[in-house]
């Protein structure tokens, strides 16, 4: 499965801790991330992560393009709901694309835990049927 990782600044450490906790599961999948999030997670876990630009420089749009092409199977996007973001329209567009392409999304750690356990159990194997070429 192709899993994309994104975290707002206030949630980056939470993403790192989440990835440390689930490194064994994540290591069996292809990961991509926005630049800073990817570097922090990779440095802390040793996971191989395809890094795009940082979110503020368009990395979130690069991941959105992969979502639009149905090249992402799950999005873990730890959002900071307490502060306004100048690129919030991009975030909303990314979530709309996930809805359009039936891509499971977690915007907080509680939902991410549910998705990662479902991934481990095989509950998301239907994505391989949707995208058999991968």
60 a catalytic residue: yes
The answer on pLDDT for 131 being more than 80 is no
CA distances for 52 relative to 81, 99, 127, angstroms: 23, 22, 23
Q: Is the pTM higher than 0.85?
A: yes
Catalytic residue among 43, 60, 80, 123: 60
Give the CATH class of 2-130. Answer: alpha beta
Q: What angle do CA 30, 34, 37 make, to 5 degrees?
A: 90
Give the residue, 58 or 22, on which the prediction is more confident: 22
Q: Three-class SS of residue 131?
A: coil
Q: What's phi and psi for 76, nearest 5 deg?
A: -105, 105
Q: Where are the domains of the chain?
A: 2-130
Mean pLDDT of 79-94: 80
Q: Are strands 49-51 and 2-7 parallel, antiparallel or unpaired?
A: unpaired
């Amino acid at each position: 499965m192709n899993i994309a990782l994104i975290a707002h600044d206030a949630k980056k450490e939470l993403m790192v801790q989440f990835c440390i906790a689930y490194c064994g599961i994540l290591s069996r999948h292809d990961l991509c991330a926005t630049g800073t999030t990817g570097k922090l997670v990779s440095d802390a876990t040793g996971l191989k992560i395809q890094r795009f630009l940082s979110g503020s420089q368009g990395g979130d749009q690069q991941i959105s393009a992969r979502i639009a092409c149905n090249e992402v199977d799950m999005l873990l996007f730890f959002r900071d709901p307490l502060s306004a973001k100048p690129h919030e329209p991009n975030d909303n567009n990314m979530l709309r694309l996930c809805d359009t392409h039936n891509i499971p999304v977690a915007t907080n750690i509680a939902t991410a835990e549910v998705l990662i356990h479902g991934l481990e159990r095989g509950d998301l194997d239907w994505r391989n049927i949707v995208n058999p070429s991968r």
